[in-house]
Amino acid sequence: MANAKNQKGASWSPTSAAAQAAPEGDGGERIAKVLARVGVCSRRDGEKLVAEGRVKVNGEIVNTPARKVSPSDLITVDGAAVAKPEATRLWRYHKPPGLVTTHKDPEGRPTVFANLPSGMGRVVSVGRLDFNSEGLLLLTNDGSLSRRLELPSTQWTRRYRVRLFGNVTQADLDRLAKGVTIDGVSFGPVQAQLERSKGSYAWAMISLREGKNREIKRLMEWLGFRVARLIRVSYGPFQLGQLEPGAVEEVPGKVLREQLGLGKPVAKSAPKTKTE
């Protein structure tokens, strides 16, 4: 959770494109959702802040995370006014292996967010990639947008190039086409295409929509194969392309509006940057 005392600035006003991404009607937005949107903390941590009595609206302590706020409300956390949010922004990041997709790892492993350019500010990821997985990871400054893009209801396909250890055939991979159940967990239909095989190794392109935890590795183990390398090459309409490992590039505002249906202009795209 970000340090709320560092979030000084103007009072919050839900007038940016981010606020248009998931409107909740004329009644405003829930306080925890607002805190997540402006980067103070996650929505869950926002609920904790409310429970601890650390959040005020117009000088009064908020006693429920269901409290909704309007554009004219002044929100403070630990006495500091919550800063006005930026417009919604989205970045493509080529995650290299060996990084955890979290802001702080209890095991002390290096994290994705500690390896981003310092000028990006606080961002969250759209979904996750495992420690040893690599490839496309979407990042955004809008927590509500992240949750929206993670939902299975978006029906966005995630595509992965996967190196497998084992004598893989197309017939093996076709067993996933209608969905399977593993240890009581149901997995939806998965498209898997064998690209090439040589000896005991093979490369396959795997496409899925659900994105359950460790889904590909669990499916491959069920088939009797071990994942030796996993690279996400696309997430919905967004492609990894030629982005180099460790590099991050902002999605142009026009593309963001077209793909996500945001009705108002968003922040101008920053030039391509790379981590050091």
Half-sphere exposure of residue 221: CA atoms within 13 angstroms, side-chain side: 8
Structure tokens at 249: 């590039």
Q: Is 130 a catalytic residue?
A: yes
Rounded to 5 degrees, what angle do the CA atoms 6, 127, 117 make?
45
What DSSP state is assigned to residue 111?
B
> Which is the catalytic residue, given 45, 73, 78, 130?
130
Q: Which residue reads 């922004």 in tokens? A: 89
Instruction: Judge whether 64 and 107 are in contact, CB under 8 Å.
Output: no
Q: Which residues partner with 227 through β-bridges?
A: 164
| Three-class SS state of 194 | strand
For the chain, the straight-line distance linking the first and the last C-alpha, in angstroms and rounded, comes to 25
Backbone angles phi and psi of 248, in degrees to 5? -135, 140
Look at residue 161 and give its three-state secondary structure. strand
| 83 phi-psi bin (left φ>0, alpha ψ -120 to 50, beta other) | beta
Alpha-carbon distances, residue 152 vs 131, 168, 193 (angstroms) = 23, 29, 22
Helices (runs of H) and strands (runs of E) counted in the chain: 7, 18
Q: What are phi and psi of 108, to 5 degrees?
A: 80, 15
Burial class (CB in 10 A: 0-12, 13-18, 19+), 74: middle
Residues with active-site annotation = 130
